[in-house]
Chains A and B, each alone.
Chain A
Amino acid sequence: MNAEFFVFVIFGVAALVGAVALVMARNTVYSAMGLLLTMLSIAVFYVLLDAHFLAVVQVIIYAGAVMTLFLFVIMLIGVDRSDDWEEQIPFQRPIVAILGGGLILLLLLAGQGAWTLRDSGVGQVGTIEEISEALFGTWMIPFQATVLLLTVAAVGSVALARYEGVLRGEQPVIEPVVDDGGEQ
């Protein structure tokens, strides 16, 4: 019983609670908050696992940038609560329960060897110096490829989300769904 054990238990429970909240919450904003809790808990695990740079990256990119983007889109398209929680396929929930239970049993069985895996004790600590030496040495070409990927993704998302009528000074027209109760 040491401090690492208690930190692991506390944030492990927090991560699981956040994940369940993500799946179960009716309101999409609550789902996003659950995912945020899980991501912050995973950042704590990264600190426990000596991955200090990755912990910072996790907080800045995932908990910061990605979740902000998600919340912006949720605000933009509104919270859609319509018929999301009804079963469309017969026996959908039992099937999901069986599939999920089977998958976690398989994963735990397959990972049985990992349960006794000991830390080798000579591990490198993931400080920014160590990471950058590997990133700009061995992994230089893949790193440059990610730069290209990010540029392409940014340009592509702007091209996708841009409304073309804006150039002609028009307002976007959203066609309403037929049986929407006449809200829009």
Chain B
Amino acid sequence: MTVTAGWYMALAAALFVIGGGGLLLRRNALVMFMCIELMLNAVNLTFVAAGKAVGNLDGQLATLFVVVVAAAEVTVGLAIIITVFRKRATASVDELSGLKG
């Protein structure tokens, strides 16, 4: 049984849905952030699998750029979480309703 690109895409779809479900279920800002990382990784996997099937490097280059942007996003996001924690002593997004009218 050969593993075609579709197998990887099905696995990536499952990972993406698990990440999205976690994003909706959890309320800890750190866990929600990690779920977003999981979804990004799932999409990266589809890029690479599709690139292998098509036969060029474009999928891998797109993934490389996504990795760089995700790394930048993680640094800024974690800095925001630390700043919020310093003010409010909580990482739960439900407690952070200060902008609610």
Contact = CB atoms under 8 A, between A and B. Distances in A.
Interface of A: 1-2, 4-5, 8, 12, 15-16, 19-20, 22-23, 28, 31-32, 35, 38-39, 42, 45-46, 48-51, 53-54, 57-58, 61-62, 65-66, 69-70, 73-74, 76-77, 80, 82-84, 88, 92-93, 95-97, 99-100, 103-104, 107-108, 111, 114-124, 126, 130-131, 134-135, 139, 142, 146, 149-150, 152-154, 156-158, 160-161, 163, 172, 174-177, 180, 184
A121 B50 CA distance: 13
Contacts of B51: 49, 51, 123
A131 B57 contact: yes
Nearest to B39: A19
Interface in B21-52: 21-22, 24-28, 30-31, 33-35, 37-38, 41, 44-45, 48-52
A70 B34 contact: yes
A5 B38 contact: no
Given A35-B38, A38-B15, A103-B20, A5 B1 contact: yes
Interface residues of B, number: 77
A100 B92 contact: no
Main secondary structure on chain B at its contact with chain A?
Answer: helix
B72 A153 contact: yes
Given A22-B35, A31-B34, A66-B37, A88 B11 contact: no
Contact of B71 (A61, A76, A115, A175): A61
Contact of A54 (B5, B53, B64): B64
